[in-house]
Structures are given as C-alpha cells and as structure tokens.
A and B are shown apart, each in its own frame.
Chain A
C-alpha cells in the first residue's frame, strides 16, 4: 500500500489527494437507502468535513451512490447517469440489495448483482447501512483514491462489451444513445 502511494509522481499524488478530499456525490435514491443520505450530509454526521458534498447533475459529480435495490427499469437510468459522469468517477453501492439482491433476490424485476452492470468501487453492507457505515465506506473509497486504485471509468470502458452484454440481458429494448469513447 505504502509502496503504491510512493510510486506516484508528485503531480499524480496531488491530483489524487485533491480527488480524495473533494467528492461530489450524485445520490441516486433508488431505494430505501436514500433516507440515509440526508443524515450523512447534515449536522449529525457532517460528511462535508471530509470534502463530501452533493452535486446536482452527473456532469459535476465524482461519486455515484446507488442507494438500494435497483429495478430493471431504474437500471437503465442508472447506466445513463453513470455514463454521463466524467472520469475519474466512483460508484458506491448501498445495502444488501445491490450486493446480492437482498430480500428481492427472486423478484422478477430487480437486479441482484450491481457489479455485473456497472463497476462498483465500494459496497456498504447492511439493510440499510447506517450513516456511520456510509462514512466508513466513503473513507474506504478515499483510501482507494489516494492509492490511485480507483479507476472505475477505465474499467468500464475496457470491459464495455462485457458490461453491455449483461446490460442487454436485462434491458431488452435498448434505446440508449451510444457514446463515442
């Protein structure tokens, strides 16, 4: 870990440091976890002291929060929002539903594993995770960024075909704009 950090050039180091300390989050309130976000950001837990603040649009955001189960219908929107975000971008997934489907594991319209559709940096376990857990998750992400390991967007682009194939399995009528990356 230390080695990796030291192997960065100074410019990279500064960049990663600033990325770490300035996380604009795009909270996609897909499920019940959305209610944890306000608690995390406001006075009680105050995520802003870590440089975390809300962003209104995917263009400005660094982190995409998937807060709970994802219906197939919602997945489409999540993919679009994710693709509209600019590199470097990170994804934090909340709760069991995004890990393994949670209580909706056998539902006909809820995906089970988020990772198969978009790359995820940090999973936060729980149903739902409490704000402490959320902040812990953010810290984990920050560590990952500082190490220079969080290259979510690159992973997505490199494995685009695989992700697309998975996405197509769920979203049968693919009407999304294709991006020229």
Chain B
C-alpha cells in the first residue's frame, strides 16, 4: 500500500532534503523553506508530471506570527495530490512569485495579495482584485476585526446586539424550554 506515495516522498526527500509525510491514500505533503518552493514546484511540474496546480491557499498563524502557504498540485498520471507547504513571516509577508511556472497562479497570488497582504515580487496585475476601494488592513488577516469594521462602516439594526445567543433570546422571549438536543449548540 501507498507505494506510489512513498516513492514520491522519497524522490522529493532525496532531491531537496525536505521533510514530509504521506497523509493518506493519494495525499502527500512536504514542508520546506519558502525559497525552495518554486524549485520544488518547477521540478515536480517538469519532471514528475504534476502539471495541475489546484490551488494556493493561506493559513494565518497569528500566534506564531506566520502565514502558512499551501500549494496543491496534482498529477493526472499518478493520480496523486501533493501539498507543498511553507511558512513565511507575517510581517513583512513576501513570497517568491510562481506565475511563470503556472499562469493561473497569477489569480491565486493576486487574491492572496489582496486578502492577506502577501507580496509576490514581480506579480503582474492590478492591485485591486475582488474588493473595490479597500483601504483597510487586508480583511482575511486574523487581526482584522471584521465586527468592529462592520460596526464602524455599516448601520446596525436596533435590537440586534452582537454575539448574543439567538436561541436563548428567542426562548426568553417566548418562554419556551430549550430542547435537550439543542443545548449543545448554545453558546455557554
């Protein structure tokens, strides 16, 4: 079992001295420094047949002060999905640009730039991607307080206070009991 996966991992390990593991059937992940990522991706694309870039995604590890970037690539011949993971500093968040390897990476990178404020040197395209006229902190960063922003920008309807337990309020209003099965969904 998992021979293909192990083999891939070994190839990559021997080539780049990366850490990595087989997650499960047809899922392999590796970690490396951000400088190595383009090289790895280029290598897996050109030599191992991982021609399909599924996605580039970002996880904000606020506590660590890091962003984790995950490049998901897929091989149509091996039917394997490879996750290439790297962690970069939150501030300044700079990541090598890979849109010369995959053209479509441009879209993902622009999105990341807008939503997380990660800079990709040499990235072509308008600064504005999905949001219009955004001048605040990139909104998907965890330290961006969206409720504060919403309160500041939009009008709250009276009677709607934030973070209240809807069920509880309804119960209080109508005098019903909260059913047992529903209690686990309550806030406290």
Contact flag (A, B; Cβ within 8 A): yes
Specify the main secondary structure of chain B where it touches its partner: loop
Check B146–A107 contact: CB distance below 8 A: yes
A110-139 vs B: 1/0 string, CB under 8 Å?
Answer: 111100100000000000000000000000
Smallest beta-carbon distance A67→chain B, Å: 18
Q: Is A35 interfacial (CB-CB < 8 Å)? A: no
Is B160's beta carbon under 8 Å from chain A? yes
Pick from B139, B155, B162: contact of A166, CB under 8 Å: B155
> Quick check: B157 and A106 within 8 Å, CB to CB?
no
Cα A66 to Cα B172 in complex, Å, equals: 32
Specify which chain B residues have a CB less than 8 angstroms from the CB of A105 in the assembled complex. 150, 156, 160, 162
The docked-state distance in angstroms from the alpha carbon of A76 to that of B131 is 13
Q: What 8 A-B pairs have minimum CB-CB distances, sorted nearest first?
A: A100-B157, A106-B147, A173-B133, A172-B133, A112-B154, A108-B146, A113-B155, A100-B160
Given contacts A106-B146, A106-B150, A172-B133, whether A112 and B157 have CB atoms under 8 Å apart is yes
Task: Report B131-170 residues with CB < 8 Å from chain A CB.
Answer: 131-133, 135-136, 139, 144, 146-147, 149-151, 153-157, 159-160, 162
Given A100-B156, A107-B146, A173-B132, 5 extra CB contacts under 8 A: A112-B150, A112-B154, A112-B157, A113-B156, A170-B153
Q: Are B153 and A169 in contact (CB under 8 A)?
A: yes
Chain A residues with CB under 8 A of B149: 108
Do A170 and B154 touch across chains, with their CB atoms under 8 A apart?
yes
- B residues near A108, Cβ cutoff 8 Å: 136, 139, 144, 146, 149-150, 153
Tell me whether A14 is interfacial, beta carbon within 8 Å: no
CA distance A105 to B163 in the complex (A): 10
* Nearest B residue (CB) for A172: B133
Say yes or no: is A80 at the interface (Cβ < 8 Å to chain B).
no
Chain A proximity of B149: nearest CB distance (Å) = 5
Q: Is the CB of A101 within 8 A of B133?
A: no
A169 / chain B contacts, CB cutoff of 8 Å: 153
- The residues of B that contact A113 with a CB separation of less than 8 Å are 154-157
**Cα distance A109–B130 when bound, in Å?**
11
Q: Is A72 an interface residue (CB 8 A)?
A: yes
Alpha-carbon gap, A100 to B161, bound state (A) = 10
Interface string of A148-161 (1 = CB under 8 A from B): 00000000000000
C-alpha spacing A107/B162, complex, angstroms: 12
Q: Can you spell out 17 A-B residue pairs with CB atoms less than 8 angstroms apart?
A: A72-B132, A76-B132, A100-B156, A100-B157, A100-B159, A100-B160, A101-B154, A108-B136, A108-B139, A108-B146, A112-B150, A112-B154, A113-B156, A170-B154, A171-B132, A171-B133, A173-B132
Cα distance A113–B147 in the bound complex, in angstroms = 15
